[in-house]
Amino acid sequence: MHTLRSSSVATLAKVVCRLSSRLKSTGGRPSAPLGSRFLTNPDDIFKHNMWDHVQWTEEDKENAQQRVEENSCTQIPLKEQGKFDTDACEYWDKFYGRHQDKFFKDRNWLFLEFPELLPSGAKSEDTNRCLDDQQTVLPTGSSTDTETRYQQHSGPVKHHRSTDTADLQDSCQKAVLEKDDAATQTATFPDRHASFRILEVGCGVGNSVFPIIGSIKEMDAFLYCCDFSPCAIQLVKDHPDYDDSVCHAFVHDVCEEMASFPFPPHSLDVILAVFVLSSIHPDRIQGVVNRLSTYLKHGGIFLFRDYGRYDMSQLRFKKGRCLSENFYTRGDGTCVYFFTKEEVHDLFSNAGLEEVQNLEDRRLQVNRGKKVAMHRVWMQSKYRKLNPPSAS
């Protein structure tokens, strides 16, 4: 594990404090919440488990690059690599079978970082509370920053429909706006009358699913969630909070080009992919994003969070676990790729989506018991599907 101890921790704390103070004094806060805990006093480094918006020194970058060069100099032979791709479903199914729903925590931070998960004008109680906290802690920024931080989905939403007439009007309106998909739209698919639809890709055992379900009830919204692990999907369906009136969980392999979804193209308002694209072979990721993007409505948004280059988890890999550049396999056979900001931008731009947000979330994770500090790097991005050009 890449760790920092004693004098190194003290030095890092001072650097973080200087940079945090500079960030505040210039009003240069990040354009998304991503936490608001700034380390301003080196003596406070072990008072919390995590510090936000940590800038790396040149020495930090050089040390990280050296660690990656060392742990990737010996790659797994090509003839042995195929199984990690072809048997990926089996590896993850065993993972969920072994850990059940005890490995990951529920992502209650989702609505703070991704308010677009809720229909326009709606906020969960957690979101309201978190946003209030952010506004009292973070230094004041520009109006552009504020709009980016708290941007909501701007599509039309109709709440509390109570009559068949309202449903019919919605269906007719969709048929006019999406003529090419009229025949498909009239086919039966789960909650085709919902006016706001979300898909979570790679939902696992529901650590995002259940916070979302708890927030979209009574909002005329619907959540689809899929994973290629049958074990994971069964655990989602067996959960006491699973509600098929607002959610449809199904087994699906997003790498399978011919596999179909239970909804038509251009029918989703939001696609959510949290720590899932990194588990796919790098050669396949672009195709996956391209296919998923076809299911977004014009104006719909793709929300992404995943591992960033030189994250602690990349640096602690041992020699012999590297499959290809920045792509590794863990001891249980599951795989992980580490993205750069530029790669993420190319990935979604090549799929025809427009950047709304593309950030590196750099934090300092602290083990207060062992007096150890570790660098974490995550990518957080939002890309929107452009509206078609208006007819002249």
pTM assigned to the model: 0.74
Q: Which domains does the chain have, with CATH numbers?
A: 78-155+164-359+377-385 (3.40.50.150)
Residue type, 40: T
Length, in residues, of the chain = 392
Angle between helices 125-137 and 209-216 (to 10 degrees): 100
CB 368 within 8 A of CB 50: no
CA-to-CA separations, 319 to 76, 331, 333, in angstroms, rounded: 9, 12, 15
The distance between the two most distant Cα atoms of the chain, rounded to a whole number of Å, is 70
CB 39 within 8 A of CB 18: no
What are the tokens at 6?
A: 């004693």
CB 263 within 8 A of CB 291: no
Q: Exposure of 155 by Cβ count < 10 A (0-12 exposed, 13-18 middle, 19+ buried)?
A: middle
SS3 call for 229? coil
Query: pLDDT (tens digit, 0 to 9) for every residue of the chain, 392 residues total?
Result: 444 444 454 444 444 444 444 444 434 444 446 777 877 777 767 777 777 788 888 998 999 999 999 999 989 888 887 777 776 777 667 777 776 665 667 788 899 899 999 988 655 444 444 434 433 333 323 333 322 222 333 333 333 333 343 443 344 344 333 333 433 443 566 777 789 999 999 999 889 999 999 999 888 999 999 998 998 999 999 999 999 999 999 999 999 998 889 999 999 999 999 999 999 999 999 999 999 999 999 999 999 999 999 999 999 999 999 999 999 988 888 889 999 999 999 999 999 999 999 999 888 878 777 777 788 999 999 999 998 776 55
384: nearest Cα among 305, 304, 299, 306: 299
SS3 call for 194? coil
Residue 103: the pLDDT is 60
